[in-house]
Structures are given as structure tokens and as C-alpha cells.
Amino acid sequence: MKNKKLKIAIFHLAFFYSGGGERLVLEEIKGLKLKGHKVTCYSPVVYENLCFPDKIKSFGIKTILPRFPRLIAHQETLEILLTCVLFPFFAYKFKNYDVILAANQPSAWFAFWVKKFFQVPYVTYLAQATRILYPRKIDKSTGIWMKQKSRVLPLLVKIFKPIFWWADIISIQNSDKVLVNGDYVAGIIKKVYGVNVVSCPAGACILDKSKNNHFVGKVKINDLVIDKPYILVTNRHFPQKKFEYAINAIEEIVRTKHDVRLVITGNETEYTKYLKELVKKRSLEKNIFFTGYVPENMLKELYKNATVYVYTSAEEDFGMGVIEAMAASVPVIAWNRGGPTTTIINGKTGYLIKSYDQKKFMTKIIKLLVDKKLNSSMSMKARIHVSKNFTIINHMNILEKTLTKVTKEFSKNK
């Protein structure tokens, strides 16, 4: 007997940045619809011009509350807080769904109220423990970079922390099932919330193996023409990502007379200004390119033509860029800490380096730039590794199975 096609509501924090978390939700909407389910996504904040502007409108994402005109800079924090406070009065809007997928907080908080009032089950998907309550060491040390954008939230959390903590833990513990983004974060979620979890790592689409020479030629992205070979970085422009280590490596590599470039994609932030000043100070303008936002088709080309991918964030819970690079047959270099330790096979699909060991980081980049045979071997192994373990198809199968099972079990126990 075929599974019933479900009416699914997806909640997500916000859509105002083109990041991995947002991309995953869009992939989930598309994937669940392709499986025949009726899916609608809701969020406190939806700024189509800032989050994947070339495609997000086609997903029909709706705001939970009526849309507010943008009257002040960085008002998204206030919109999120207001939605959290008022949501119990709007929970009735979601009473006719079969199941809710709550992507991180405050989505679980929203879903909690729909279940409480209208007996709609929900599955919480967590990529991390709620960051405002459980900040990492790196978040504490770099918080100054986000000060302008989120100065209201830290103050409120400090004043009302017991309430935030209660809302966070009760909404996650009342989930009918908790899915987590990979094995590394699974351990954190179990420890913080005391719940059983199912690993459902984010997945990538396996790209056709590029026939292009990864060491010779050019790639045109937006208005830039970039000579190969180049090293690629794709990540949110937040200080926690530590792009400085990639810039430092390029400076040293250029000094050793190796011809190479560094390509940094992504929407620009205040942190980007700091990075550009650093590049100018080091006189590396001819070797380091900031592309800004890159549409998906161009991003695929960047991945497929890259010689090496580097991941400089040392406390990452998963690291979507790592998976995407390996899916494009590109070896990856990352720190031996956090999520990448569960996705990279050291010495086979890339290298895991002791955190912030700049010299070894640079040495391994040079090794993959010089040894084309080794690069090719690692590229092939990286692609095979992702094909077996980290595809978007695998992610969607786990997700659909969980949503269907939760819906059936909840109906039986009503």
C-alpha cells in the first residue's frame, strides 16, 4: 500500500541571506513536492532580494504574520521576536496540515503551539543547538562583528534567559521526532536536550564530472574572468568562518612563486569589508576575488573547475560547502574539528589539519596544486564518498520516511 500524500507545513527562521541552511530548506520543499506531497513554507522574515534572488520567488514562501514595510535597518530581528511572541494567536492558520517540519528554532516553538492547540504532529530538524542560548567559543570571541545587526537580541536573551531556555527545551522535547544534520551535531543535541535523534545529514547533488582541465583555462563568473588554478571558498561572510586563514595561505603561496588564485563567493557583510581591507593591505588584489552572490548554475561551474576547496571554520557543526565540493570532484582541506571530521576521509578525499596550523594548511594546498595525480585521485574518491553517503536523495528519503511515520503513529494514538 502506498504512503498517503501529506499536507506539510515547513517553518524556517528567516530568508534574508543566501546560505546553506536556506538552500537546504528550498531543496526540501522541492524534493517533497516531487514526491507528491503538498508543501508550503512559512517564515517570520522573507526578503526575496537578499536570499537566492534568482529563484526563491518560485517557492511561494509566506510570512507567518502580515508583511511589514522595511522601515529600519536590520529590522529582521524585531520581526522574528514579534512573531515568536504573537505566534500562539496565529497557530490556527496551520491546523489543517498533516504534519509540520520545523527547521531549527524558533520553528520548533511555532510547531509546539500548533500541536498543543490543534494536535498536529511535528518533526524538528536541528543543524545546531540554539545558538543564542548555547554559543560556541568562536561565537563569543567574534560577537563584535554582529553587534550592529543583533544588538537587541543579546540584551533580551540576557534579561529573559529563563524564558528563552524554557521555550527552547520544551518545544524540542515535545517534538514527535528530532532529525539532526549529521553525526557530529547528533552528539551535541543528545547532550543538550536529552532527546533521541536520527541523523539526516544535508546532501548535495552529484555534479557531472567536469571534462575541463582544473589547472589550465579561465572561468567567467558575474563580471569576473578568473584564471585557473584557483582555490574556492563558499560560506557565509561571518567572522566565525575565519576566511583570514585562506587569505594568509594565498599570501604565502604567492611568495613561493606558485601561480594561484582564491575565489570567495557569497553575499557581502560587514565582515567582507574587513577581508577586502586585509587583501588590499597585503597587495593581493590580483590573486583574490570576491564574487558576491553567485546564481546556482554559475556556482556549480565554480565548484567543477576548482582545483582545491578550503574550509576555514574550526567549530562548524556540519559544513555544507565541504559536501558540495566533494560532490563536484574537488578535494577539500579543513580543520580537524567539528562537522568536517565526519564527512572528510583524511588523506583520501582531502586533508584534516590541526586547528589553525597555518603552515600545514598552506603546505597541503601546495601539495594538491603541484601533484596533479594526487589531486585527481582524491577528486575521484571524494565524489564516490559523497555519492554513497551524502546525497540530497538520501536526505530526502530519510526526511519523507520520518514525516510519514510520525503522521501515521500520531493518528493511531489520537
Number of domains in the chain: 2
**169 and 227 inside one domain:** no
- Answer whether residue 213 is part of any domain: no
Q: Note down the domain range covering 252.
A: 218-389
Specify the pLDDT at position 147: 44
18/52 Cα distance (integer angstroms)? 5
Q: Which residues make Cβ contacts (< 8 Å) with residue 370, sequence separation at least 6?
A: 258
- Answer whether residue 211 is part of any domain: no
**370 and 398 inside one domain:** no
**272 and 404 inside one domain:** no
Specify the pLDDT at position 211: 64
**367 and 400 inside one domain:** no
Cα-only R_g, the chain: 22
Specify the pLDDT at position 144: 40
Q: Which residues make Cβ contacts (< 8 Å) with residue 130, sequence separation at least 6?
A: 104, 105, 168
Instruction: Determine which helix (DSSP H) or strand (DSSP E) holds 347, and give its type and residue range.
Output: none
- Answer whether residue 370 is part of any domain: yes
Specify the pLDDT at position 140: 78
Mean pLDDT by 10 residues, the chain (414 residues): 83 92 95 97 94 93 88 78 95 97 97 97 96 86 53 73 94 98 96 97 86 84 92 93 95 90 93 95 95 92 95 92 95 96 97 95 95 95 96 97 95 78
Q: Give the domain CATH number at 376.
A: 3.40.50.2000
CA nearest neighbour of 49 among 37, 38, 41, 57: 57
- Answer whether residue 208 is part of any domain: no
Residue 61 DSSP symbol: -
Specify the pLDDT at position 7: 97
**188 and 224 inside one domain:** no
Specify the pLDDT at position 25: 96
**159 and 284 inside one domain:** no
Regarding pTM above 0.85, the answer is yes
| Residue found by looking up cell 494514538 in the block | 413
CB 342 within 8 A of CB 182: yes
- Answer whether residue 369 is part of any domain: yes
**171 and 228 inside one domain:** no
Within 10 A of 333 (CB to CB), how many other CB atoms are there? 28
49/160 Cα distance (integer angstroms)? 33
